[in-house]
Each structure stands twice: as C-alpha cells, then as structure tokens.
C-alpha cells in the first residue's frame, strides 16, 4: 500500500519560490517541453485557429493541475468539460483565482458561454476519477510533471484506464528516470578530467533501485520524489490495457539552446520523459 503523499506545494516557502519560475509566471509558453506534449495531445490535429478547435466537445481530466494552465488551454481549445485535481490547496486556490480574474476581465461577455472548469483538491494516489457522467467518459487524461510524486503507479494507471472511454488518451510527462535516479549528494553535475579537457557529466547511479528519493529544490530540502525506471513506466502502462502511441526522451533542442545557451549541459541527458497512450 502506498505511503501518505507529500504535499510540498502547501509549504509556504516552497510555494512562493515555485511562483518565481518562468513556467509559473508565463504558463505553457514558458515550458520548453510543451510543444511536444501538445503534439501528443492533438495527435496531429491542428492547434487552435480561427476555424479549428482541436478538443471540441472533449471531456478532459488534468491530474496535478498546478495553476491550471493546461485546463484553461483545453477549455480554450473547445473542451466541453474540464476537471482538474491537485493535492495542494495553494495550487487550487491560485487556479480558481485565475478563473475569477478571467471572468472579471470578460464581464462584458455572456459568462455562461465560458465552460466552467471543475477544480478540486485531491490526492491522485488514492482518489477515483469520474466526471458528472460517471466512469469511462473522459476522452483525455493529461498530467504534467506529477506522476513522479506517486508511489503506486499501477493503481493510478488502472484508475485512469477506467475513467477513459474506449479510444481515450493518456498524455503525461515526468522527470526523466535518468534525472531522478541519483541518490544524494546528487543530483548535480560533476566535472571529469579527460586528458587536457574537462567534461561535464551527470552522476547516474542507482538507476535500477526504484523507490523514494529525497532532493533539494528551490532552496527547500526533503522533497520526496519516486524514482522508477523507464521500463516500469511503460510496462505498467501496457499491463493496464493501454497501447503506447508516443514516447519522447525530452532534452532541449539545438534551437532551444541557441535561445538559452545556459541549457547546453541539459543536452547531456534527457530531462523529461513524455508518454502518450490510448485505451484499447
């Protein structure tokens, strides 16, 4: 049985440091892996344009929604119903505040034409997902950078599978297992003397030892993340009845690095793992 989930985003120091990240301040456009995730979500369909709303009529569930950037994007792209869950009350309050601000700024329009997003506080490690039509009616379950906080992934995949209609999609990202594997004092880059050169290397160890890692991030110690191998992420998915439809070891492209030279070292190892799958 899974141990109690950590709720680090309700720690006030951590939450306010998280709010300084570009992706917190600017949303999806500041998340460099977003174009690949969007491609997986759209499955080749065109994104929002004057005439095309790629998620028209979809029923969407966002797990670990944070500020709700993706939930709002899904609504703007035509989703008919959007439910978004997060364990952190801070996150859900912030997401609801965005909704209030949007409604205030559009008060001159007919507000009943805006699809209401159902934001709820909940632990995805233990809750069941069903929308107001019951189980098996979502078309898309999405999750960005949250599943590495979950211990019992097999249960979560089963829940997601039963919340989707046949042909429904799961699209998610996690910190890449090569990134999450090292036991303290990592993760951090090391320098290797190689003849007269110094090479930057990633101190990969303990890759095969699945389990909790305690890391420090944004000046806060003791953040718990669950490391599992790529094989486990994929095999559990297949065992739960999904077909794998997309897979990406995400690292910045050369174009990304041209814009952000400080990301050069990030090309030494993947940073995120992106996966899409379909319910058979």
Under the rule (CB under 6 A), what is the footprint of ligand SAM? 5, 9, 64-66, 69, 85-88, 91, 123-125, 144-146, 149-150
Assigned token pair, 205: 């160890």
Comparing CB distances to ligand SAM, the nearer of 9 and 179 is 9
**Contact between 58 and 74 (Cβ < 8 Å):** yes
49 Cβ partners below 8 Å, 6+ apart? none
Comparing CB distances to ligand SAM, the nearer of 66 and 168 is 66
Comparing CB distances to ligand SAM, the nearer of 21 and 201 is 21
Residue sitting closest to ligand SAM (CB)? 66
Q: Where do the H-state alpha helices sit in the chain?
A: 12-18, 22-26, 34-42, 69-76, 89-105, 153-163, 177-180, 230-239, 254-259
Assigned token pair, 264: 């050069």
**C-alpha dihedral sign at 166, 168, 172, 177:** positive
Shortest Å distance, C-beta 41 to ligand SAM? 13
Shortest Å distance, C-beta 190 to ligand SAM? 25
Distance, CA of 253 to CA of 255 (rounded, Å): 5
Shortest Å distance, C-beta 113 to ligand SAM? 26
Shortest Å distance, C-beta 203 to ligand SAM? 23
Distance, CA of 241 to CA of 115 (rounded, Å): 31
Give the CA angle between residues 271, 276, 279 to the nearest 5°. Answer: 155
Comparing CB distances to ligand SAM, the nearer of 22 and 57 is 22
Distance, CA of 267 to CA of 31 (rounded, Å): 16
Comparing CB distances to ligand SAM, the nearer of 32 and 66 is 66
Comparing CB distances to ligand SAM, the nearer of 16 and 243 is 16
Exposed e or buried b per residue across 126-147, where buried means at least 16 C-beta atoms within 10 angstroms of its C-beta: beebbbeeeeebbbbbbbbbbb
Shortest Å distance, C-beta 145 to ligand SAM? 4
Shortest Å distance, C-beta 69 to ligand SAM? 5
């Amino acid at each position: 049985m899974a141990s109690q989930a950590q709720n680090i985003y309700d720690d006030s120091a951590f939450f306010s440091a998280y709010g300084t990240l570009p992706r917190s301040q600017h949303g999806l456009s500041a998340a460099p892996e977003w174009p690949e995730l969007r491609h997986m979500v759209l499955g080749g369909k065109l994104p929002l344009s004057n005439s095309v709303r790629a998620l028209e009529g979809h029923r969407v569930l966002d797990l670990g929604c944070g500020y709700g950037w993706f939930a709002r994007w899904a609504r703007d792209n035509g989703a008919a119903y959007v439910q978004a869950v997060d364990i952190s009350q801070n996150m859900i309050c912030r997401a609801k505040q965005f909704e209030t601000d949007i409604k205030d700024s559009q008060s001159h329009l007919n507000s009943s034409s805006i699809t209401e997003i159902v934001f709820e506080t909940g632990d995805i490690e233990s809750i069941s997902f069903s929308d107001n039509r019951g189980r098996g009616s979502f078309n898309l379950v999405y999750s960005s950078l949250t599943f590495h906080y979950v211990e019992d992934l097999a249960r979560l995949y089963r829940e997601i599978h039963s919340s989707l209609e046949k042909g429904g999609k799961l699209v998610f990202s996690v910190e890449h297992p090569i990134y999450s594997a090292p036991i303290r004092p990592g993760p951090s880059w090391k320098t290797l003397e190689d003849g007269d050169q110094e090479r930057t290397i990633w101190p990969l160890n303990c890759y095969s030892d699945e389990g909790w890692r305690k890391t420090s991030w944004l000046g806060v110690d003791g953040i718990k993340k669950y490391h599992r191998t790529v094989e486990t992420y994929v095999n559990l998915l297949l065992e739960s009845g999904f077909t794998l439809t997309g897979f990406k070891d995400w690292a910045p492209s050369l174009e990304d690095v041209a814009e952000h030279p400080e990301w050069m070292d990030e090309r030494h190892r993947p940073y995120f793992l992106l996966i899409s799958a379909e319910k058979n």
